[in-house]
Amino acid sequence: MRRVQKAPLHRVPELGSATGNARKPIVSRKGSTLMSTERYEFFQVIQGYLKTAARVINMDPTVEQILAQPRNEIIVHFPVRMDSGEIKVFKGYRIQHSNLLGPFKGGIRYHESVTLDDVKALAAMMTWKCALMRLPFGGGKGGIKFNPREHTQSELQRITRRFTHALGGNIGPEYDIPAPDVGTNAQMMAWIMDTYMNTVGHVNKQANRGVVTGKPVHSGGTVGREKATGQGVVHCITEWARARRFNLEGCTYVVQGFGNVGSNAATILSKYGASLVAVGDHTGYLYNPEGFNEHKLTEWVREHKGVAGYPSGKTITREEFFQVKSDIFIPAALENQVGVAEAKALDTKVIVEGANGPCTPDGEKVLLDRGITVIPDVLANSGGVTVSYYEWVQNKRSESWEIDEVDHRLETAMKRSYHEVVDFAQSKNVDLRTAAYGIALQRIEAVYRERDIFP
């Protein structure tokens, strides 16, 4: 039986304007653009976290210096023919942060706000995430600055294939392995794989399936990858709840971003009897104190490409969205969404970062001062890369695992890392983000100590 608590809308008087998203305007349902005066440099933010954690673990300054910058920054420009016959030139990035622990690994983002600095930040986070999860991967990230929603499937296919061709030998199953991120999906991974397999020569063709993860299952993907990041978010929530004897049944939660991560986290969380009382994405924000039906909402978003117009609940502004009372808040859209104003407005117990970098450092400080727990991105959304690793292993072994095996391995890995982070935080008296970084950096530093640098 599903008990639903009513979630009142709380008005916060000092909340004049939302401050999230400094460089990326958010358009509310009324079309008003919410801009911030807070400057936000994502890569500098990640460098700041690195610095803080390095002090805590007393890291060798040379290693810190190496990790503060990516190894390779690749920028490509490539022409693509549009359906109209017009030729457009696109700018694509691939940042390879570290391959100390294994091949570079990380998603490809298609979004109009992609910048070199963002991709550098996201690539570095992949290095920490893989180290934290004990995966034999390093960190990388890629992207193209454009709005995929403005293009047809055939244009998206040509853009993806030309980008793959432009990257050429800079990716590969033993070198650098992309995956889906914002604006990309399993279909696009199949196009990348096919382009790569057809351009690197015939002899090793089949061995190159592992050049990307997050592929459709028929094309060499793994069962369980599509939901993996959302599933990992929920494993963090269940462990958080267990430690506090907090009953998830009948509790309320809010999700920002209802794409791969947000919709899967919501669908899985609904099985615990939790109620989704507010949701939002790039098309607008909705509130329903009775709780949304996560499955129907997912269907709606698949068909209409956004939550706007969903025939249940009330349309609210972005400011109102951040004031909705809930037990759990899951940001699963973009970075820089929870600044100081949002952090002051949020009325919740725990923030589980499905997205990468959703809380700004100042926003997080406000949250922690208010006693709100923040389960950081490098832990909370690491389920995706973990199951990507399982896909890569299956490709290497020409195997296909059952869903139970994938789910079981992911659950074990997520819970182990969750408790490692909590224990580290308690032993060093630091927040969970610093703890997650600290564990990852200790593992990376140990390898530098053993191997030293070449020559």
Residues marked active site are found at 141
Q: Which two tokens stand for residue 166?
A: 């432009």
Among the listed residues 70, 138, 257, 291, the single contact to ligand NAD using CB under 6 A: 257
Among the listed residues 98, 222, 336, 356, the single contact to ligand NAD using CB under 6 A: 356
Among the listed residues 53, 74, 121, 182, the single contact to ligand NAD using CB under 6 A: 182
Q: How far is the CB of 204 from ligand NAD (least distance, A)?
A: 27
How far apart CA 34 and CA 331 sit, in angstroms, is 18
Q: How far is the CB of 28 from ligand NAD (least distance, A)?
A: 10
227 close to 259: Cβ distance less than 8 angstroms: no
> What single DSSP character describes residue 338?
B
Among the listed residues 123, 248, 261, 269, the single contact to ligand NAD using CB under 6 A: 261
Closer to ligand NAD by CB, 126 or 200: give it: 126
Closer to ligand NAD by CB, 384 or 445: give it: 384
Q: What are phi and psi of 408, to 5 degrees?
A: -65, -45
Q: How far is the CB of 442 from ligand NAD (least distance, A)?
A: 22
Q: Which has the closest alpha carbon to 117: 88, 143, 149?
A: 143
How far apart CA 403 and CA 82 sit, in angstroms, is 39
**156 scored as a contact of ligand NAD (CB under 6 A):** no
> CA Rg, the chain, in Å?
21
Q: How far is the CB of 19 from ligand NAD (least distance, A)?
A: 14
Among the listed residues 7, 18, 19, 26, the single contact to ligand NAD using CB under 6 A: 26
**229 scored as a contact of ligand NAD (CB under 6 A):** yes
**224 scored as a contact of ligand NAD (CB under 6 A):** no
Closer to ligand NAD by CB, 139 or 354: give it: 354
Q: Which two tokens stand for residue 110?
A: 């298609």
**183 scored as a contact of ligand NAD (CB under 6 A):** yes
318 close to 287: Cβ distance less than 8 angstroms: no
**445 scored as a contact of ligand NAD (CB under 6 A):** no
**391 scored as a contact of ligand NAD (CB under 6 A):** no
- Put the strands of the sheet holding 72-81 in their side by side order: 72-81, 87-98, 139-145, 104-111, 176-180
Closer to ligand NAD by CB, 229 or 395: give it: 229
**227 scored as a contact of ligand NAD (CB under 6 A):** no
107 close to 181: Cβ distance less than 8 angstroms: yes
Say how far residue 311 (Cα) sits from the centre of its chain: 28
How far apart CA 169 and CA 165 sit, in angstroms, is 9
Among the listed residues 384, 410, 421, 445, the single contact to ligand NAD using CB under 6 A: 384
How far apart CA 432 and CA 129 sit, in angstroms, is 13
**50 scored as a contact of ligand NAD (CB under 6 A):** no
**258 scored as a contact of ligand NAD (CB under 6 A):** yes
Say how far residue 340 (Cα) sits from the centre of its chain: 21
Q: How far is the CB of 197 from ligand NAD (least distance, A)?
A: 23
145 close to 75: Cβ distance less than 8 angstroms: no
Distances in Å between the Cα of 208 and the Cα atoms of 79, 196, 227, 388, 399 are 25, 8, 24, 15, 14
**376 scored as a contact of ligand NAD (CB under 6 A):** no
Among the listed residues 164, 195, 270, 381, the single contact to ligand NAD using CB under 6 A: 381
Q: Which has the closest alpha carbon to 36: 21, 48, 54?
A: 21
279 close to 307: Cβ distance less than 8 angstroms: yes
Q: Is 243 helix (H, G, I), strand (E, B) or coil?
A: helix
Q: Which of residues 326-355 bind ligand NAD (CB under 6 A)?
A: 332-334, 354-355
Judged by CB under 6 A, how many residues of this single chain contact ligand NAD?
A: 26
Stretch that binds ligand NAD, among 74-82, 181-189, 338-346, 429-437 (CB under 6 A): 181-189
Query: Using CB atoms, what's the residue nearest to ligand NAD?
Result: 259
* Interface contacts to ligand NAD, rule CB under 6 A: 24, 26, 180-183, 229, 256-262, 280-282, 306, 332-334, 354-356, 381, 384
